[in-house]
Amino acid sequence: MPLLQTSKSAAKWLLRTAVSWLPRGASAAVLDQASQNLGPWAALVRIAPRCAIESVSIQGAYGLIDGSPGDSTVLGGYASAGSWARRTNELLCAFFDQSGGLYLDVGANIGLTTIPVARNPKVTCLALEPNPSVHRFLAANVRRNCPHGNVTTRQVAAFSRRDVLELEVAPDNQGDNRLRLSDRAGLHGEERWRSVKVEALPLDELAPDVAGPTAVKIDVQGAEPFVFEGGARALDRAGLLICEWSPYLMARLGGRADRVTAYLARSFGEVTIAFGEVGPLPRPEPVAIAVERLLAMAHDARDDSSVYADIIARR
């Protein structure tokens, strides 16, 4: 299976393969029109399954990254922009600066929020990703792009207890895989998605004992309240906490949003609520005000899957 270095070259190769049976002039016209109409990544996504391509490699700011050609969001975003979650990564790297410490990446996906932090050889990184196929990409990307040997990957979901759970596999976004804790129907037919069994463990059992400052990023598609329930000791060490807040996903999993806000209220003085990765960060606000806003979002947007934010808290 060839390694395709960029989305543009990958798309062209795939399109040439797909239209090779046409007369030369016709195949060239199809190739040109498809590239113009779809764009290189969309063309790759359409053609890859027909060519039995299961992985591609994209060069960008965090190195050569392996992923699925069907992942239009995470790997596709990296192919299009050359980076991923740039503001989050800048916050994490700046937190450690040149000092050592511990970074817990809960929901690491293919490694795009682990590899930039691991460039600091003094930081010990633990990257958790439960999906077996995504974890294989994560492990490969870490081996290739983290030469300091300071990253451990675990194929496990952080949760409130030890268990074996079902993970819903999103059809075109490997950053949108979700735990399935009930048969509740979703707005996007998630209950019909293919699922895989995954191991689940409390974060307190997973986090290593490492001296120095600790930063934690939690992006687990609605399972955040369960991570907090099983990770109080690990989170108590965090000087920087970045956590996704998705009312719809939390409600669908049956998680209690107030488990997160109660922890914030007793552990932090100021919290920033940010929407998206683009633009300057809003000013921090007193935790009491932030908690009220978050709980209002959790109530008002529980049936709106488009609403989500990042919680950024510092001690």
pLDDT digits (tens, 9 = 90+) for 168-186: 999 888 889 999 999 889 9
Strands (E), 75-213: 101-106, 123-128, 151-154, 157-159, 163-168, 178-180, 195-202
Instruction: Please state, in angstroms and rounded to a whole number, the distance separating the CA atoms of residues 265 and 261.
Output: 6
pLDDT value at position 96?
Answer: 96
Using 50, 70 and 90 to split pLDDT, how confident is the model at 17?
low
Q: What's the mean per-residue pLDDT of the chain?
A: 90
Stronger pLDDT, 13 or 128, i.e. the higher one: 128
Instruction: Please state, in angstroms and rounded to a whole number, the distance separating the CA atoms of residues 229 and 238.
Output: 15
Rounded mean pLDDT, 217-245? 98
Instruction: Please state, in angstroms and rounded to a whole number, the distance separating the CA atoms of residues 225 and 118.
Output: 27
Nearest to 177 by CA among 84, 108, 251, 245: 108
Using 50, 70 and 90 to split pLDDT, how confident is the model at 3?
very low
Q: Which of 16-20, 52-56, 123-127 has the lowest mean pLDDT?
A: 16-20
pLDDT value at position 1?
Answer: 34
Cβ partners under 8 Å of residue 287, min gap 6: 264, 265, 268, 269, 270, 271, 313
Rounded mean pLDDT, 117-131? 98
| pLDDT at 144 > cutoff 50 | yes
Q: Which of 3-12, 111-120, 296-305 has the lowest mean pLDDT?
A: 3-12
Q: Which two tokens stand for residue 213?
A: 């400052």
Is 171 in a helix, a strand, or coil?
coil
| pLDDT at 90 > cutoff 90 | yes
| pLDDT at 264 > cutoff 90 | yes
Q: Which fold has domain 85-314?
A: Rossmann fold (3.40.50)
pLDDT value at position 2?
Answer: 35
pLDDT value at position 303?
Answer: 96
Nearest to 111 by CA among 91, 126, 96: 126
| pLDDT at 33 > cutoff 70 | no
pLDDT value at position 47?
Answer: 74
Could you state, in order of their start, the residue ranges of all structural domains in the chain?
7-78, 85-314
Rounded mean pLDDT, 128-153? 98
| pLDDT at 112 > cutoff 90 | yes
